[in-house]
Structure 1
């Protein structure tokens, strides 16, 4: 099977999307990119995660052509391709309709540094992409436009959800988890008053500290992020 190992990981992490509470039903999608072949593998459209098998995961090129699968790819394949086309270090993308990130996205509120753990995204503010209909080239283009302006490892998408990327699926998933937790903290802080948002200078110090957080990079005990 073409890119079998990557397809198996998409199945594994699709189930983690559900068990972690990052999404429900068939909402959200996951992809991985293989730079050697130039192909990405992405979860199939509308198949429940618990029923998805490796052969259902779709192999595509970044121009939207299906290379191998009996299933239709996720409707957001263009969104995923935007990350691989725009960010050379991207190897995995996690898109979820997680409750608190989606709540902020629907309110037009950026994810801010209410808690320093947002440093997992590499920035002090996770920006919001303006609304476009899901699964359209227009949404993919708006995401690319936002990626060109920001170093963030995650984005909110107005009236839609969130999306995160990393140089591995483990890291992309960890960023998604952290952003959801930070969004919940921000929402709760907004419910009782005005959140005390850390400054860009304070966050720059945190991001610098993160460079030495946890175990050495070659350790099998290395953390993938604040919650991963």
Structure 2
């Protein structure tokens, strides 16, 4: 089976999307690219996360040709392929419908640095304009909006995060959802104080040495 480890990771982290309350039903999607094989594993469209098996995960070329799997790939395959092709340091994409991030996206707001954990994206989380799900227009909007950031809100839709591996992209989705909740709650009380770009630059440098490095 091609990309066995990547397909198993899609199953594992797909279930975590549900248990971490980052999406519901079969919503959201994930992909992982194996740069050496030049192949991408992506969640199949409309398949329940707890019923999905590694062999259900679709394997594709970066150009979108299916090379293994008998199911349709995610309806959002366009923006997965676009992101994985546009930035060589990206090997994984996670898309969620997490409640607080989506709430901010439905207001058509960016997510500012109300908390330093927004650094999982950068000094903010930018916003991509609305387009119908699954369209090339949506893929183009996300590619233009995300730039060098590791997360992007999708207007009236949800959140997308990227990373060098699936664990990192998933962690970004979790932390950005936390920051979105903090921002929502702070706005309910008053006007939150936003961290400066200079402080977020310091945070970004500290993130580079955070945790246990090999």
1:172 alignment counterpart = 169
- The gaps in structure 2 that reach 5 residues or longer are none
Residues 1:127 and 2:148 are matched in the alignment: no
**1:165-188: CA deviations, max 9, x gaps?**
100111000001000000000000
| Matched length | 214
Residues 1:139 and 2:138 are matched in the alignment: yes
2:190 alignment counterpart = 193
**1:82-108: CA deviations, max 9, x gaps?**
111111111111000000110000001
1:151 alignment counterpart = 148
**1:52-107: CA deviations, max 9, x gaps?**
01111000112222111111110001111111111111111100000011000000
RMSD: 1.0
When the two structures are superposed, what TM-score results if normalisation uses the length of structure 2? 0.97
Distance 2:92 2:155 in 1: 22
1:12 alignment counterpart = 12
Equivalent pair of 1:82/1:143 in contact (CA under 8 Å): no
Distance 2:144 2:110 in 1: 16
Distance 2:208 2:132 in 1: 37
CA-CA distance at 1:211 after TM superposition: 2.4
Distance 1:154 1:104 in 2: 14
**Structure 1 residue matching 2:142: 3-state secondary structure:** helix
- The gaps in structure 1 that reach 5 residues or longer are 219-228
**Structure 1 residue matching 2:50: 3-state secondary structure:** helix
Distance 1:8 1:116 in 2: 32
Residues 1:52 and 2:49 are matched in the alignment: no
Equivalent pair of 1:33/1:39 in contact (CA under 8 Å): yes
Distance 2:210 2:70 in 1: 43
Residues 1:71 and 2:68 are matched in the alignment: no
1:221 alignment counterpart = none
CA-CA distance at 1:214 after TM superposition: 2.4
Distance 1:3 1:12 in 2: 14
2:23 alignment counterpart = 23
When the two structures are superposed, what TM-score results if normalisation uses the length of structure 1? 0.91
**Structure 1 residue matching 2:161: 3-state secondary structure:** strand
